[in-house]
A and B are shown apart, each in its own frame.
Chain A
Amino acid sequence: MEELTNIFVRSVFIDNMVLAYFLGMCSYLAVSRTVTTANGLGIAVIFVLGFTVPLNYLIENYFLREGAMVWLGPAFADVDLSFLSFILFIAVIASMVQLVEMIVEKFAPALYSSLGIFLPLIAVNCAILGGSLFMQEREYANIAQATSFGIGSGVGFYLAIVGIAAIREKIRYSNVPEPLQGLGITFIITGLMGIAFMSFMGIAL
């Protein structure tokens, strides 16, 4: 249990998807004009990451890794399909996004209408594929850890995007130098947020 909490806290604060690895930057910059939309996208990302990372973990460990297919019989012991991981991961993500969209539409129509267009857009959000690729690289020990990592990364993305949206709503009333307005100042603020988040690096877990 302690291990799971550690992974969660690590992926929210120390290995924050946006502020430490710059993943999901495109939607982070495009959808952070107001807090409401940022909130919607953030929740959707938590959802999708929480589903796709454990799913891809299973695929990785039962199909792709060298020797992963040994459960099919000893003849498969040295089959290594890991070069297929990109294409399988992205297929899982695209179909999961579609599935999550349908589930949310059925059981939580209010949430669905507030998320609107952002759900399908998540399929090409690099934070999602990044989550699966980092999971592959870090070799988590079991599916619980992978899930904890997935949800934690989603929460990290959520924190970052809601934070920047709140700052951008405020900064509209400030006197920013003209060439910096809009995109430029958003980059610099994100950089400053990243520096602030770096102070978490000292925490040993």
Chain B
Amino acid sequence: MSKSEKEALFSTKNKKLLTTPLNDENPITVQVLGICSALAVTALLEPAFVLAVAVVAVMGAANVIISVLRHTIPTRIRIIVQLVVIAFLVILVDQVLKAFLYDVSRQLSVFVGLIITNCIIMGRLEAFALGNKVWPSLLDGVGNAAGYGVILIMVAFFRELLGSGTLWGYPVMETLGVYRTGYVDNGFMILPPMALITVGIIIWVQRSFNRKLIESN
């Protein structure tokens, strides 16, 4: 991709880098990357949001670092270099979470560490940051991480609302008085398998609106 130096910071092409991962190229529902951590932390909104922010931070920074170093990294050892860069950033995030948001950090348990092997990050470093300039790489990283975060927050929203009747710990269902009509929380939504089914339904809805994403069996 050749780009002129004078190109505006938010030219159409750059905007596209930021927005296509939100829908057409969504990392989770289209590229099938980074699902591992996406599902396990989505029972409540707060940890899901924190993880999404952590991934945006790690991914933006990793894309920038790899993009800066892209001419110096020997191709044969690039995977180890990428892993080290990501691991270094994740350690920073982990220490920050432990210091300032200890409860959430406990809830996320191993999933902060698993950002290292989150295939979105590796995938975007390989596919984009190694061959592009710093600014587009940053946009690409933030865009993809945001696409990931959006799905994470959507899944968490439905699971927390239907499963515990709360949103971010605030008892929405009780305030609305839904329980008096005989409504009962569906505890099933909190269990792990429902995360998969929720993502499946999100994919279903997305593809019914965006029919070019439909794949043949």
Q: Interface of A with B (CB < 8 Å)?
A: 19-26, 29-30, 83-87, 90-91, 94, 123-130, 133-134, 137, 171-172, 176-188, 190-195, 198
Q: A86-B94, A179-B203 are in contact. List 12 more A-B contacts (CB 8 A).
A: A21-B40, A25-B39, A26-B32, A87-B91, A94-B83, A129-B114, A182-B215, A183-B203, A187-B200, A188-B197, A190-B193, A195-B191
Report 5 cross-chain contacts, Cβ distance below 8 Å, ordered by A residue.
A87-B91, A124-B122, A130-B114, A184-B207, A187-B200
Partner of A179, one of B87, B94, B204: B204
Q: Are A192 and B36 in contact (CB under 8 A)?
A: no
Confirm or deny: B3 has a beta carbon within 8 angstroms of a beta carbon on chain A.
no
A-facing residues in B58-82 (Cβ within 8 Å): 79-80
Chain A minimum-CB-distance residue to B39: A22
Distance in angstroms from A182 CB to nearest chain B CB is: 4
Q: Are B84 and A180 in contact (CB under 8 A)?
A: no
Size category of the binding interface on chain B: 35 or more
Q: Are A198 and B34 in contact (CB under 8 A)?
A: no
Q: Interface of B with A (CB < 8 Å)?
A: 29, 32-40, 79-80, 83-84, 87-88, 90-91, 94-95, 109-110, 113-114, 116-119, 122, 191-197, 199-201, 203-208, 211, 214-217
Contacts of B199 in A (CB 8 A): 187
Q: Are B32 and A194 in contact (CB under 8 A)?
A: no
